[in-house]
Chain A
């Protein structure tokens, strides 16, 4: 049996829910999500959401900051939508119930954020994502959006020109089912878990990007990965910049505040990428603890100040690393934080495949270019959730249903593929493959990039793909088979790792978050272009595509 809807949205984070809310009044909409909507990664965002609402602020300055932050690789037409629509988007969510933090006069409080000319980041304490997601989910509930909860999408189904539906595993039963729709929207979030060290949720495996790639849809700018300088050693939970803002020191094994060597003036408060590179250098050159991390030392701040200003950070250190920062320094290291790249689409979310749309962190329109500004990605999910919803609505008015037969065929094939994995009695361990894959990405396609090392990573990635062909779980059950789900996610990670590494190898310049040691300068002549990764017959190739420039002239990015 095939379930049929006008439109199917994959993902129930902020982006997916916002698309559904836009469409639910006029169309038969369904969301598929592998976890309950409130467990989506959007819930974890801390710092805030940007909107030019201050008196002297304007959408143009917000747009300029975004384009400059992006190292000019953002598409300026998409950035215009993002920044122009920002205030009404925040207002909408406030009116839905989000309990933003307030200024004395009762208006929404805004804090300064890296790379921004004005304090324009609206927040709810350090739990902005949590508040926005709970509120947006409440509205989806109010409107009666149909949600298939705990369904893991396994593949897209297309004919020559159109997407016609998808296949998904019902996690509770282990059954593979077919879904037919005139339009499919991918809102599956980022793919931080390509890296062993990531601030992302464990479920951020880029499934939507990988299945789109396999369906012949290009991915864009995959090499642009944002790393955060300070994440907790062991779990890579984000240790916000606030800790350094309050006066925390970064210390190596020799007991020195090494930022003195890299940024003698700003010290620990130098920009994110500089601090991340400094910490990585210390560890690479043997001055890291256990060759893995440095110390973020707060002990000199004293108990009172730590309890008053950094209670959340103390709680995280104690619960997740067993370290009380009042007595001991916190072990930290850089970690993957945000995926700028994603499914290639235009500013309305349309991909090269008719009926297939992308939105949120899974998409690449691109509003973030080579480097995302903090507070712009929550904004992206809600602004473009509405825009893409409206675009899909227009499309649905004239779209026809395509034949379902190929969906049944694909369900059958997927079922067989899963059976094969499940029944294999012995073989490669998915945990071992995952460890090798993600650790090589940390080591060789991380903060610093050298061509020989990227090639090495590519070799290891391809070996892991080979090993994956004989992957075996060991005995497992049909119901709630999370081992199987994590194995299917691993398959997606392998493809995405290759796409990232290929993009990084071919981009012979340094721009935004992509730092090539052999090409330390930006090269606009050759690379003021988006990278496209295209897969056909299981082979990936790279093409380039122009950036949509606009009112902001391309300049050197200095702060």
Chain B
């Protein structure tokens, strides 16, 4: 199996693509393949990783033009998969020479500045959490608060977000509008707003509804299709709108 990988030594933009031949084995993931390259062929290839089990959110990248977690993507299944995303430039523009039938194309996650190869600058993604103050402001007390299983279930979906930024990278609005806070932060605001334990739940909703928040979303729903954890941020945004 051949891998065509976007390279950017100094960051900024993709400078060229390198082609590598991978020795595949049953069960091999795209992350395994990247390590094979780093170990055996090209020590200069940079990409992020940690858990290799789809829980830490480190390894989001564009795989055959679809944003995925490298560690959760089987090499053998890449070519047949399709998320049916609404197209926007980074997922349409195909590099010269890419043979779709035989090569897996690997590129950095769109909508973020490239730092090196597949490593992108996620500052604005995490800054959005701080800007919206997405945390509880705890009150004093020495007992746990009560929450019914039914109320707990309301936030289950949103609590599962691993902050991998795949939704942000799949969003045509994030592509066009630098200031848009993006699906994950807004879905997290909804998580805090819907948490029945929260005494001042309203403030999360109000901050999510600021001009560069929910009003900017065009309900394209790429985030819902691409999210590896079934968080469905678009659904939350629709409710907040």
A residues touching B (Cβ–Cβ < 8 Å)? 35-36, 38-41, 43-44, 88, 90-91, 94-97, 99-108, 124-125, 127, 130-131, 134-135, 138-139, 141-142, 172, 201-203, 233-235, 237, 316, 319-323, 429-431, 473-477, 479-483, 486
Contact = CB atoms under 8 A, between A and B. Distances in A.
B97 interface: no
Given A39-B50, A320-B72, A107 B136 contact: no
Nearest to A92: B138
A107 B115 contact: no
Given A39-B57, A203-B50, A106 B147 contact: yes
Query: Is the contact region of chain B dominated by helix, strand, or loop, or is it mixed?
Result: loop
Nearest to B47: A482
B116 A480 contact: yes
A321 B29 CA distance: 9
Nearest to A99: B159
A97 B135 contact: yes
Given A96-B138, A320-B72, A41 B27 contact: no
Interface residues of B, number: 64
Which 10 pairs show the lowest CB-CB distances between chains A and B? Answer: A138-B135, A431-B39, A106-B146, A483-B43, A97-B136, A480-B46, A476-B43, A473-B43, A39-B50, A480-B116
B60 to A, nearest CB: 11
Given A95-B141, A99-B155, A138-B136, A38 B148 contact: no
A139 B136 CA distance: 8
A134 B141 CA distance: 21
Contacts of A139: 135-136, 138
Contact of A142 (B40, B51, B135, B163): B135
B38 interface: yes
Interface of B: 9-11, 26-27, 29, 38-40, 42-44, 46-58, 72-74, 76-77, 115-117, 119, 122, 126, 129-130, 133-139, 141-149, 152, 155-156, 159-160, 162-163, 192, 195, 197
A329 to B, nearest CB: 14
Nearest to A42: B56
Given A134-B163, A142-B133, 8 more contacts: A36-B58, A96-B135, A99-B155, A102-B152, A103-B149, A233-B27, A479-B46, A483-B44
B148 A106 contact: yes
A473 B45 CA distance: 12
Nearest to A321: B27
B26 A141 contact: no
A237 B53 contact: yes
B43 A475 contact: yes
A124 B195 CA distance: 15
B53 A90 contact: no
B135 A90 contact: no
Contacts of B43: 473-476, 483
Given A95-B141, A142-B133, A234 B46 contact: no
A321 B56 CA distance: 19
A258 to B, nearest CB: 24
Given A95-B144, A477-B116, A44 B51 contact: yes
Nearest to A127: B160
Contacts of B122: 36
Contacts of B130: 141
Contacts of A321: 26-27
B117 A483 contact: no
Contacts of B73: 319
B55 A476 contact: no
A40 B55 CA distance: 10
B44 A320 contact: no
B56 A38 contact: yes
